[in-house]
Amino acid sequence: MRFVRRYLIPRLIQYVLVTWLGITVVFVIPRLMPGDPIESMIATIQAQGSYRDPEAVKEMIDTLRDMYGLEEGLAKQYISFWKRLLSGDFGPSYFSFPTPVIELIGQSLPWTVGLLLTTTLLSWIIGNITGGLSGYFTGSRFLRILDGIVMFIRPIPYYVLGLTLVILFAYLLPIFPFGGGYTIGAKILFTWSFIRDVLKHAFLPAMSLTLLGAAVNHQTMRLIIQGVREEDYIRYAKIAAVKERKIFSQYAMRNAILPQITGLTLSLGQIFGGALITEIVFSYPGLGFLLYRAIVNNDYNLIMGITTISIITITTLILLVDLLYPLFDPRIRLR
């Protein structure tokens, strides 16, 4: 009962408030952006050489504004937005009208999840292991060289690293394709040839994300483990002649990994927002590229759909970690 009153209920309240506030901000901000999405849609149609009678254009604008609820006040739009959200309906996309937003998200989500889930886990595991070793065994020459490599990679802007990989492995050494999710014209089938084609297209964006992600986790874990190494219980274990490997794995790493678990949770939640720069640089058909198109075209519905899913996922994962944290940290369990 004490756990429910002092630990569970406050976190559930915090979860509801943060989720509500985040989704409300998502609703408000696109409406503060300059430009009218309906008029932008009409201008795009006319720019493509399609002539329409001014009266017909006005009637189309009125119809679309009525369909999207833009003629109503913000309060009614907000209530309508929550009703559609709770039913899983984000409405149709503006620039892909009349395709539903949820359908566009469903088409892009598997590409983003497949790429980011793999690279996030790989970079987290590799970075924490190498960073932990580097921070604890400071006398190793190999680990000092690895530290130097990480210090060189970490400050590189992502787009520079991505373009460098494209130039090296797609232009100078044409081993991998320049971009895309698969070869243009290929049929999407669950066959080994198609899977191999997808993996080949995903290799460069995956490499870029893994390199930078592992570098960040390496440096963070290295700093954490250096602090843990100076704790009294580590010194006592050394005085008691406990083997260094056992001290590292069962004492130092188990305590240093706790804040990194929270970082992993946040990274997993951000998967559902897409990797914007990655997908633009490599023309990868994921949620990040879809979000970019939505912003450029003032597509309110699509922007709200993607960011809302991302917010709900992040807050839910944080709640789950808060609830599971006592299993990892006995200090919380004993309070």
DSSP string computed for 98-131: TSBHHHHHHHHHHHHHHHHHHHHHHHHHHHHHHH
The CA–CA distances, whole Å, from 194 to 88, 112, 153, 183 equal 32, 17, 33, 9
Segment 220-277, tens digit of pLDDT: 888 888 888 888 878 888 888 778 788 887 888 888 887 787 778 777 766 665 567 7
CATH architecture of 110-286: Orthogonal Bundle (1.10)
| Tens digits of residue pLDDT in 61-95 | 666 666 556 666 677 778 877 887 887 777 777 77
Give the single-character DSSP code of 35.
Answer: S
Q: Is the pLDDT of residue 17 over 70?
A: yes
What is the rounded end-to-end Cα distance, in angstroms, of the chain?
Answer: 13
Residue 118's CB: how many other CB atoms inside 10 A?
A: 14
User: Is-contact 81 63, C-beta < 8 A?
Assistant: no
Residue 57's pLDDT is what? 63
Answer yes or no: are the C-beta atoms of 288 and 273 closer than 8 Å. yes
What pLDDT is recorded for position 165? 83
Domain locations along the chain: 110-286
Burial class (CB in 10 A: 0-12, 13-18, 19+), 172: exposed
Reply yes or no on whether the pLDDT at 206 is more than 80: yes
Exposure on the CB side of residue 154, measured as CA atoms within 13 A: 14
pLDDT of residue 229: 81
Whether the link from the prior residue into 98 is cis, omega within 30° of 0, is: yes
Specify the pLDDT at position 329.
61
pLDDT of residue 212: 85
The overall average pLDDT reported for the chain is: 77
Q: What percentage of the chain carries pLDDT values higher than 70?
A: 77
| Segment 297-327, tens digit of pLDDT | 777 778 878 888 888 888 887 788 777 766 6
Measured CA to CA in angstroms, residue 223 lies from 45, 84, 132, 262, 265 at distances of 55, 46, 9, 16, 20
